[in-house]
Structure 1
Amino acid sequence: MSVEVTDQDAALAYYVDVLGCELRTDVEVFPGGRWVEVVPPGSTVGIALVTRESGIPVALRLGTSDADEAHARLTSAGTAPHQAVIREAYAPPMFAFDDPDGNALVYLEDAPG
């Protein structure tokens, strides 16, 4: 899951210092694209704090054991993913798509084990 923020440092301070979340990830995945992810207390579900300017989609993120299979399944069911499965060194295989109401979703391949 992700939320759009205007200032990642201020949002990170709020989510960690006020809400008690744990910082999971804070990396620049590409120039201008900073991925900041926190985890609420007692949860394993991360919340990405992203800016509109970063180009990283504000979307619900879903796990899958096989991104290629999920891409093929959605395509055969009439959903048009935004792109082929993306493979980058900094992230698991993934692809974005919209649900019938236009909500953004991203499938991320789960790490083995």
Structure 2
Amino acid sequence: MPRHLHAFSLVVPDYDSALAFYVDTLGFDLREDLPLEDGKRWVVIAPDGDAQTNILLAQADGFDQEAAIGNQFGGRVGLFLHTDDFARDHAAMVKAGVHFEEAPRYEAYGTVAVWRDPFGNRWDLLQLKANA
């Protein structure tokens, strides 16, 4: 298998609110939810069943981690949700109550709009042009 990014951690206030948003609202797949010691859990989600990259939801533990929630990328867009049908997914997300910071815009590389999860993380919904 070629190298790929298996997973990255996303610090969240608690597992259940993160699952409610990512799985119940956005329709991400819940891949694992295993109990660990000290009340922690191994919670892995992915945008869909074919995704190679997973998100490990990490419940904040302590002041420094709590302070990082929603600002893990220094206020920049740090997460990029790729779609093969921007109009379909944008409409579904708007209907589900996802907060978009802007109207869709058309760039040289594709169609994009910035949105925030309920924890403050900035994401791009992105459909790349075929040659990008």
TM-score scaled by length of structure 2: 0.40
TM-score scaled by length of structure 1: 0.46
